Amino acid sequence: MSILITGFDPFDGANINPSWAAVELVPEEVCGQRVYKMQLPTIFGKAAELLCAEIERVKPAVVMCCGVANGRTGVTPELVAINYRQARIADNIGQCFFGVPIAPGGDAAYMTRLPVNDMVEAIREAGIPAYLSYSAGAYVCNDVYYALLQSEKAFGHRGLFVHVPGTEAVDAPKAAQALAICLEKALQHNIG
């Protein structure tokens, strides 16, 4: 088995994206499995397209995508991706959507099949703030998560999206530790 983990490039005038800063610090192997890393562009549609192409190339057992959630105070595994786009700011090429579906006629939502509550508990046991989130929002993070969960049947992986806070509540090394914990739990679930 291998793992694919992604983070995003900076957006909305920021110099860094805390999701990519954390992903870069995740070990090259987790539970003896190789970790492939990819930075996605903060662009509606394009990020999901590039993700699916990389999944097809790498054929990972587990895919975890990561984004930043400003205002949150802990690491938050996401339970649900919704078929909906609503942007308060434009993406990195100026696209802005207001209440339109990602996939017209597609399923309203997808839910991860990975043990997100176990992940939250394990992150907290490591002394890192964490809580479960029930929605990945409606920006590019959710776009990617919807495509990730929708593609599970075609590619055979298990997918998860995790938001890291945009504040110093959890620094990059601690966020990377939390992401590695999520990957360990995901692999244990896949094997079991």
pLDDT digits (tens, 9 = 90+) for 84-114: 999 989 999 999 999 999 999 999 999 999 9
Range of 86's domain?
Answer: 3-191
Can 157 be counted among the known catalytic residues?
A: no
- Please report the pLDDT score of residue 191 as a whole number: 54
Q: What are phi and psi of 43, to 5 degrees?
A: -140, 125
| Amino acid type, 179 | L
| CATH code: domain of residue 34 | 3.40.630.20
* 37-60 confidence digits (pLDDT tens): 999 999 999 999 999 999 999 999
Can 78 be counted among the known catalytic residues?
A: yes
Selecting among 52, 65, 66, 141, the annotated active-site residue is: 141
Count the domains in the chain: 1
Helical pair 46-58 and 140-150, crossing angle rounded to 10 deg: 40
Selecting among 52, 65, 66, 78, the annotated active-site residue is: 78
Selecting among 52, 157, 163, 182, the annotated active-site residue is: 163
Mean local confidence (pLDDT), 78-85: 98
Distance, in Å, from the CA atom of 26 to the CA atom of 44, rounded to the nearest integer, reads 25
